[in-house]
Amino acid sequence: MTKTRATDSTGLRLLSEKIRVPVARRAGGERVPCPICSPNRPKFVIGLMAYFPADSGVRFIGHDCADTHFTDDFRQAEVRFRAEVQAVEIQALWTELAPRGVEMASKAVGLMTVTRPLQMCRDAFGYHITDFAQFLYRNRPGSISKQDEKTRKAVYSVAGLSFLSDTFRPHDKLREIASGIRELHRPLPDWNSDSGTSAALKEIGQRGQKLQAAIKALPKLVSEIGDARQFLTRESFRRIDRWHRGGSSPFASLLMELEGGFVSVQATSFERTYSIRAEVSADIFKALPTLAEVTFRTSKGNK
């Protein structure tokens, strides 16, 4: 290790995270000399290992000093170090999950038989601000419910109002997830920390993030589908009807029916009249995988 002063930080590379030195255990509780600004006298408690290509020196430097004296080179070195640490994690993730890639992708694709008709039905309710879904959801977001005045317990509440949220696009989301998982079908480019900041490092970072996001989003989507599809039930419509008759709804008239595999809505607000008709395919209610079945844990656990 080099203890001489570092003057040229061109191409500086970090070799470690920040390291806190237990200085209390050092003779006299002495701090560590800094080969940037104070090579011969005690200076810092938290430092990091760095490689200086200019003189091939490896130095243990104070992290504040590096930031102060080598600002740009240090920032670049930090970014690169983080990308390298991430790339090593992603390579490990790939080694572990690639053998299961086909199985994982088929679980996602299998769900499309549910998300496709579910999103088609949602589409019929509209996404624009003046549309019925917005009107109902925005006016009573997630809480068409009634409390007993004495016991304060819920007399009823309508499940699955998230179906009407304008961000509920389950099929689009699932396609994105499946695409993220399919990254596993293609090996990562060769890369190790000696290869430098190559296109390969960038590709590993991008594809790894896509995969990680997909793995995280899949169980979440399955829960959302399970919740949202409860909206398309007679029970929900009965409760919405009670809510409307109770005088709490913003509609002058509201009629929602589920009949013969179709939902129909006739509603009048002070603004306009809504008329919606959409197919409620039986596939929407197909059994969903358990969360455990769509949670792809690695031996290190998912972050």
What residue ranges bind Zn ion (CB under 5 A)?
Answer: 34, 36-37, 62, 65
- Quick one: 67 or 172, whose CB is closer to Zn ion? 67
Q: Please report how close the Cβ of residue 15 comes to Zn ion at its closest, in angstroms.
A: 17
Closest CA to 284 of 265, 266, 264, 263: 263
Residue nearest to Zn ion (CB): 65
Q: Please report how close the Cβ of residue 74 comes to Zn ion at its closest, in angstroms.
A: 12
- Quick one: 42 or 205, whose CB is closer to Zn ion? 42
> Given the structure tokens 């959409």, which residue do they identify?
278
Q: What distance in Å separates the CA atoms of residue 147 and residue 157, rounded to the nearest whole number?
A: 9
Parallel/antiparallel/unpaired status of strands 273-279 and 262-268: antiparallel
Q: Which residues pair with 157 in a beta bridge?
A: 145
- Quick one: 65 or 265, whose CB is closer to Zn ion? 65
Q: Please report how close the Cβ of residue 102 comes to Zn ion at its closest, in angstroms.
A: 53
Q: Please report how close the Cβ of residue 62 comes to Zn ion at its closest, in angstroms.
A: 4
Q: Which residues, other chains included, contact 159 with Cβ-Cβ below 8 Å and sequence gap of 6+?
A: 227, 230, 231, 233, 235, 236
Q: What distance in Å separates the CA atoms of residue 25 and residue 301, rounded to the nearest whole number?
A: 35
- Quick one: 37 or 178, whose CB is closer to Zn ion? 37
Q: Please report how close the Cβ of residue 64 comes to Zn ion at its closest, in angstroms.
A: 7
Q: What distance in Å separates the CA atoms of residue 113 and residue 92, rounded to the nearest whole number?
A: 32
- Quick one: 73 or 84, whose CB is closer to Zn ion? 73
Q: What distance in Å separates the CA atoms of residue 181 and residue 174, rounded to the nearest whole number?
A: 10
Q: Please report how close the Cβ of residue 33 comes to Zn ion at its closest, in angstroms.
A: 9
- Quick one: 14 or 34, whose CB is closer to Zn ion? 34
Q: Which parts of 70-149 fold into alpha helices (H)?
A: 71-97, 101-110, 112-125, 132-139
C-alpha distances in angstroms, 160 versus 42, 183, 221, 240, 256?
63, 32, 14, 12, 15
